[in-house]
């Protein structure tokens, strides 16, 4: 006999003992519930016991096929352990949703539940269970937003989505830093290819839900995005992601020159003042203009938006010259969906991202970002000067 068979034979009686223990205690609890209901809570009611009826109940310890539930002749008593037509404890739905939020496919969840409970749960059944969050998603996407955000980070990522066929589609995500210094995912939308028009719709939705005053938008160099952002929030500044810019620059530079060129660029965006940064850029231009003229031209075109962060308090500058804040969020979304070759519908994508969003927001709501808390007074003055003048 193999070791695995021996282990199965050993654990099976143990599992039965645990399940019988749970069954006995559930039945004892229900008896006490019924006694208390008639003797203490409702002594005016005549307690006409009417024996028991048997039902099945899926528990975290396995399936009980013959749970004895006490009943009375008038049907007045109802146990608080489960609803009348409930066939599984709430834990099962919660477990399924938690597994789904971690990126486990509906088919894999169905197989897991079947192994645990010894019953068939199809992938479509699991999908139906996770549908309980659909109404929550709709409410969340329509909820009112804060009037003020110090910073809005914008980023998109692609997931494989099945419609008529499988193709990569963009997920637009917006992370905001509130006036008080708390970080939160405030919006996500699914569909199509990333474009400035798509972002304009996302930003218009933020306006419609109450966002009026923004100090700074931080995003990469998607063509037209800065114009769309300024159209929705004309008094806000734009910060192009320096990290993205450097990364893209290196694609146009020989490997032998990359280390030296990057060191020269660091002097520019790590300068203490805008004036100092511009002086370093002149040096950078002088060193590399003849070798990489298009690289220099590209940096000159974007330089104002790459150095915007220097207008802001020192405490938060490392937080706002790059989109790293939102990129970590995007990596987590990708991680949660990595095990799925493709998602079966737009709704399935929304479920995953919504559950990831709630996990992030619950965690972030517990603490203010230290750097933004330190700079709050300075940022408040910027809001007042820009929007109350």
Q: What is the residue-wise DSSP string for 6-72?
A: HHHHHHHHHHHHHHHHHHHHHHHHHHHHHHHIIIII-TTS---EEEEEEEEEEETTEEEEEEEEEEE
Residues 152 and 245 in one domain: yes
Predicted local distance difference test score (pLDDT) of residue 86: 52
Residues 74 and 161 in one domain: no
Regarding pTM above 0.85, the answer is no
Residues 81 and 144 in one domain: no
How confident is the model over 315-327, as a mean pLDDT?
A: 94
Domain assignment present for residue 102? The answer is no
Tell me which of 56, 88, 120 is where a domain ends.
88
Domain assignment present for residue 352? The answer is yes
Residues 6+ positions from 369 with CB-CB distance below 8 Å: 177, 181, 182, 183, 319
Q: Measure the CA–CA gap between 224 and 382, rounded to whole angstroms.
A: 26
Residues 249 and 182 in one domain: yes
Predicted local distance difference test score (pLDDT) of residue 235: 97
Q: Which residues of 36-54 are buried (b: 16+ CB within 10 A; e: fewer)?
A: ebbeeeeeeeebeeeeeee
- 134: closest CA among 283, 345, 389? 345
Q: Measure the CA–CA gap between 148 and 382, rounded to whole angstroms.
A: 12
Residues 192 and 259 in one domain: yes
Domain assignment present for residue 116? The answer is no
Q: What's 310's DSSP letter?
A: G
Evaluate whether 297 touches 201 at the Cβ level (below 8 Å).
no
The mean pLDDT of the chain is: 84
pLDDT at 295 exceeding the cut of 80: yes
pLDDT at 202 exceeding the cut of 90: yes
How confident is the model over 146-160, as a mean pLDDT?
A: 93
Most confident of 23-27, 37-41, 144-148: 144-148
Q: Could you tell me which residue, 97 or 176, shows the higher pLDDT? A: 176
Q: Measure the CA–CA gap between 68 and 52, rounded to whole angstroms.
A: 6
Residues 12 and 153 in one domain: no
Predicted local distance difference test score (pLDDT) of residue 1: 46
Specify the 3-state DSSP secondary structure of 104: coil
Evaluate whether 130 touches 102 at the Cβ level (below 8 Å).
no
Residues 269 and 365 in one domain: yes
Domain assignment present for residue 120? The answer is no
Residues 145 and 205 in one domain: yes
Domain count, the chain: 2
Distances (CA, A) of 64 to 69, 96, 236, 324: 12, 20, 61, 50
Domain assignment present for residue 165? The answer is yes
Q: Measure the CA–CA gap between 271 and 371, rounded to whole angstroms.
A: 19
pLDDT at 131 exceeding the cut of 70: no
pLDDT at 319 exceeding the cut of 70: yes
Q: How many residues does the chain have?
A: 389
Tell me which of 46, 63, 88 is where a domain ends.
88
Domain assignment present for residue 78? The answer is yes
Predicted local distance difference test score (pLDDT) of residue 5: 47
Residues 64 and 159 in one domain: no
Residues 272 and 160 in one domain: yes
Its domain, for residue 41, covers: 1-88
Please give the full DSSP string across 212-264, using - where no structure is assigned.
-EEEEEEE---TTHHHHHHHHSTTSEEEE-HHHHHHHHHTTS-HHHHHHHHHH
Domain assignment present for residue 289? The answer is yes
Residues 216 and 358 in one domain: yes
Residues 6+ positions from 35 with CB-CB distance below 8 Å: none
Distances (CA, A) of 331 to 202, 281, 324, 356, 365: 21, 32, 10, 11, 20
Tell me which of 51, 66, 88 is where a domain ends.
88
pLDDT at 76 exceeding the cut of 90: no
Residues 44 and 148 in one domain: no
Domain assignment present for residue 113? The answer is no
Specify the 3-state DSSP secondary structure of 88: strand
């Amino acid at each position: 006999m193999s070791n695995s068979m021996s282990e199965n034979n050993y654990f099976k009686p143990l599992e039965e003992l645990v399940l019988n223990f749970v069954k006995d205690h559930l039945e004892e609890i229900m008896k006490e519930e019924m006694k208390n209901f008639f003797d203490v809570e409702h002594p005016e009611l005549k307690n006409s016991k009417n024996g028991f009826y048997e039902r099945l109940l899926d528990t975290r310890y396995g399936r009980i096929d013959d749970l004895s539930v006490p009943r009375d002749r008038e049907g007045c008593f109802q146990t608080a352990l489960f609803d009348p037509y409930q066939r599984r404890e709430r834990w099962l739905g919660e477990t399924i949703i938690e597994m789904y939020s971690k990126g486990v496919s509906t088919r894999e969840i169905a197989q897991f539940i079947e192994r645990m409970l010894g019953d068939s749960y199809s992938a479509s059944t699991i999908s139906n269970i996770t549908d309980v969050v659909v109404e929550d998603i709709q409410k969340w996407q329509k909820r009112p937003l804060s009037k003020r955000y110090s910073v809005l980070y914008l980023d998109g990522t692609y997931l494989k989505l099945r419609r008529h066929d499988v193709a990569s589609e963009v997920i637009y995500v917006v992370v905001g830093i509130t006036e008080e210094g708390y970080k939160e995912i405030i919006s996500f939308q699914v569909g199509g290819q990333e474009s400035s028009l798509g972002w304009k719709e996302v930003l218009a939705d933020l306006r419609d839900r109450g966002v009026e005053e923004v100090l700074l938008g931080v995003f990469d160099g998607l063509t037209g995005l800065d114009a769309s952002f300024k159209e929705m929030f004309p008094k806000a500044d734009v910060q192009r992601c320096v990290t993205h810019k450097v990364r893209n620059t290196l694609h146009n530079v020989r490997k032998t020159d990359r280390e030296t060129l990057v060191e020269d660029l660091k002097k520019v965006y790590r300068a203490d003042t805008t004036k100092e940064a511009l002086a370093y850029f002149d040096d950078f231009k002088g060193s590399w203009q003849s070798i990489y003229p298009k690289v220099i031209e590209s940096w000159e075109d974007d330089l104002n938006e790459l150095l915007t962060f220097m207008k802001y308090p020192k405490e938060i500058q490392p937080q706002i010259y790059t989109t790293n804040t939102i990129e970590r969020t995007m990596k987590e979304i990708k991680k949660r969906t990595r095990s799925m070759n493709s998602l079966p519908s737009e709704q399935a994508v929304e479920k995953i991202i919504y559950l990831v969003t709630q996990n992030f927001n619950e965690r972030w709501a517990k603490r203010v970002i230290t750097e933004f808390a330190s700079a709050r007074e300075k940022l408040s003055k910027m809001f007042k000067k820009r929007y109350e003048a």
